[in-house]
Structure 1
Amino acid sequence: MTGSSPSPEPPVQPQSQDSPDRAHQAFTETWQPGVDGLNFYTRTYAARTTTPRAVILFVHGYAEYIAEYDWLHSRYAASGITVFAFDQRGFGYTALEARGHEGKRSKNSRYAVTSWKEQLIDIEWWLQYVTKTHPGLPVFLMGPSMGGALSLAFVTRKSEPPTQESVSLVSGVVATSPFLRQTQPIPRILSYVLKLMSVLFPRIVFPLPADTDDYTHDDAVNEHIANDPFCMQKGTFKHVHDMLTGGEDLIRTSYQQWPEHIPVLIVHGTGDKIASCEGAQEFYEKLPAIDKTFFPIPDAYHELAREVGGVKETLVEQCITWILGRVKVTVPDEPST
């Protein structure tokens, strides 16, 4: 299945015992061209306080799309934090035709066809956009899994992409379950084959099966993800190679290039069977950042924003507290009506 597939209907999120009330969500959606003219699907969750305090530029994870994070982003908005999110190049509505958005997707956009270089350029583009559309507000990069790794990588680059001028626009980074290292690394021979294929056939899409039981402790959520037409477990040789080597590079060498003045929060489930919690902690301990926080959640799996047992509530409360603790807040505002 590729971008030429029939238009799937955006799925309804599963309801479970821990599902939050979704009735008060509000966002605006737009289609906007990126740096190379590719059309991106975007959402803005405006702060629901009279005085916005900060902006989050949200970078979603692999085989995900921003509609999955409605509740999370609505919670940030209710706390005075605006969220701008976009379906990344190769994923979500940006790559697949969705009902109600016919004709919006760029004709050359294909599912899973992307690379770290392109994604970092895209982040830079939207960071500059958010800075211009929300002048004076601190901007925090935030992302889960692949998006967390990309957010961390963004500020360690000393050459394009991105530019140092763009890195200076970042007030902080929040990475949740960042995909820096696999919990169970693939064999070396497969790693070598993947590297070779990424050079010979970089844009070829191939199946990338995952054990859905490893997402959360909630079977209903796991089943929903497995059957979601916008969460196909497929990848290109180039992008998968980039993900596996990019995170490892952060742990081994690129951490040294972290600007010490940029604060960072890493939240990780200790039971994560996809992204190594130990790898994330190793990266954290090496970071030269003056202000850094590592917040482990005992036994939690990979999808923290949809995990049960109070995990997603703990996640959002920790992120809100951390972000607002790094912006100038005086008298709290009441939600606007």
Structure 2
Amino acid sequence: MSQKPYTEAWLTGPRSTQFYTRSYIPPSNPIRAVVAFVHGFAEHVGRYGHLHPLLAQRGIAVFAYDQRGFGLTAQDTSGKKSKDSAYGKTCWNDQMKDIQWALEHTKKQFADVPLFLMGHSMGGAESLGFATDPEHKDLLTQIAGVIATGPLIAQTTPAPSLMKWVGGKASILFPNALVPAAVNAGDLSHDEDFNSAYLKDPLIQQAGSLKGLADMLSKGEELRDHRHKNWPPALPVLIVHGTDDKVTCPKTSRGFFDAIPAAKKRYESFEGGYHELQNEPNGVKEKLVEVIVNFVEEHLPSSSSSPPIQKASL
């Protein structure tokens, strides 16, 4: 029986919430860097079980957690999740506190290792949002860089303004009420097997809470409209987006990137790529790993005198 490439644990986070977590440790020393990873809307860290080991093989450890309101953190049936946890029960303020907790935990777990924050889709926007919140300025000085793939700053096909307004008002009265929020699986990637697995995944529901959805969309608009001005100039950032992403808008991501005052920033377009580049076939996933590893290596302390992160056989 093959050994799992990760260790899993239930850890107590903000609001005494029990979070399901995974840690991927590089199989050989030294650990060159560590990534605290934030997944996207309605999904869970188990969907990255083929990506995170590739980073670990390159000397980059990964700490990942099922976000509040999603995955096993919200739906575990073995008695480990918090009694107050439920699918979709989340909000932006809690998500920011959860990211702070994840970063602080990762710093302790991997002491003296350069720390990066990475997120995909909703998690990508949350990561960018965390970096633009002045409340976290002290912690941000301890982060070597931020990586966002397909960040949900805006939808490729935005919801009607009236619907968003009504949803925002309703979220005040019924924050945890679930409403349909389906994603066309065919828009995720060009790999039909991965898309089919998404639809069959028991931890994924085609729904979200009124508060969670309202915050997800409105905070993305804030990033686009004014929060980009708060980006710490000394904090490096990598934004990656597929040009044919039908879920989150690559044009908006590029606009955010152009507007932030980061001294060191990099934007990578994947021509023809859909929303989940990590699930794209024909070498796209491997190229994504290279882009991430190269960014990490470029922003390691004293990288000029450090040995390069070795390429693993994929």
Q: Same fold (TM over 0.5)?
A: yes
- 2:7: which partner in 1? 28
The one-letter amino acid paired with 2:120 is P
| Cα shift at 1:268 | 0.2
User: Which segments of 5 or more consecutive residues in structure 2 lack a partner in the other structure?
Assistant: none
Matched, 1:116 2:92: yes
- 2:205: which partner in 1? 232
- 2:273: which partner in 1? 300
Task: Please state which structure has a larger fraction of its residues in helix.
Answer: 2
- 1:66: which partner in 2? 45
CA distance in 2, matches of 1:244, 1:57: 23
Aligned residues: 307
- 1:248: which partner in 2? 221
| Cα shift at 1:240 | 0.3
- 2:107: which partner in 1? 131
Q: 1:93-108 residue pairs with structure 2 within 5 A?
A: 93-98=72-77, 102-108=78-84
Q: Name the SS for the 1:266 alignment partner.
A: strand
CA distance in 2, matches of 1:137, 1:176: 23
| CA gap 1:63/1:331 in 2 versus in 1, 3 angstroms | same
CA distance in 2, matches of 1:212, 1:55: 31
Q: Give me the identity figure in percent.
A: 40
- 2:21: which partner in 1? 42
- The answer to whether the 8 A contact 1:25-1:74 is kept is no
| CA gap 1:313/1:94 in 2 versus in 1, 3 angstroms | same
CA distance in 2, matches of 1:63, 1:72: 18
How large is the Cα RMSD of the aligned pairs?
Answer: 1.5
- The answer to whether the 8 A contact 1:145-1:178 is kept is yes
Q: 1:1-337 residue pairs with structure 2 within 5 A?
A: 26-98=5-77, 102-159=78-135, 163-327=136-300, 328-329=302-303, 330-332=306-308
Q: Name the SS for the 2:240 alignment partner.
A: strand
| CA gap 1:197/1:48 in 2 versus in 1, 3 angstroms | same
- The answer to whether the 8 A contact 2:11-2:21 is kept is yes
CA distance in 2, matches of 1:217, 1:135: 39
| Cα shift at 1:24 | 7.5
CA distance in 2, matches of 1:331, 1:216: 35
User: Which segments of 5 or more consecutive residues in structure 1 lack a partner in the other structure?
Assistant: 1-22
| Cα shift at 1:285 | 0.4
Q: Name the SS for the 1:305 alignment partner.
A: helix
The one-letter amino acid paired with 1:107 is K
| Cα shift at 1:25 | 5.3
- The answer to whether the 8 A contact 1:49-1:334 is kept is no
CA distance in 1, matches of 2:203, 2:128: 25
CA distance in 1, matches of 2:307, 2:156: 44
| CA gap 1:272/1:334 in 2 versus in 1, 3 angstroms | closer
| CA gap 1:71/1:25 in 2 versus in 1, 3 angstroms | farther
Q: Name the SS for the 1:170 alignment partner.
A: coil
The one-letter amino acid paired with 2:37 is F
| Cα shift at 1:35 | 2.0
The one-letter amino acid paired with 1:93 is L
CA distance in 1, matches of 2:56, 2:4: 9
Q: Which of 189-198 and 52-61 deviates more?
A: 189-198
- The answer to whether the 8 A contact 1:42-1:86 is kept is yes
CA distance in 1, matches of 2:129, 2:103: 14
Q: Which of 268-277 and 32-41 deviates more?
A: 32-41
CA distance in 2, matches of 1:125, 1:201: 27
| Cα shift at 1:49 | 2.7
- 1:6: which partner in 2? none
CA distance in 1, matches of 2:182, 2:7: 33
Deviations 1:311-334 (A, max 9, x none): 111111110111112114423588
| CA gap 1:334/1:220 in 2 versus in 1, 3 angstroms | closer
CA distance in 1, matches of 2:85, 2:199: 23
- The answer to whether the 8 A contact 1:49-1:333 is kept is no
| Cα shift at 1:169 | 2.2
- The answer to whether the 8 A contact 1:305-1:312 is kept is yes
- The answer to whether the 8 A contact 1:180-1:250 is kept is yes
| Cα shift at 1:48 | 2.3
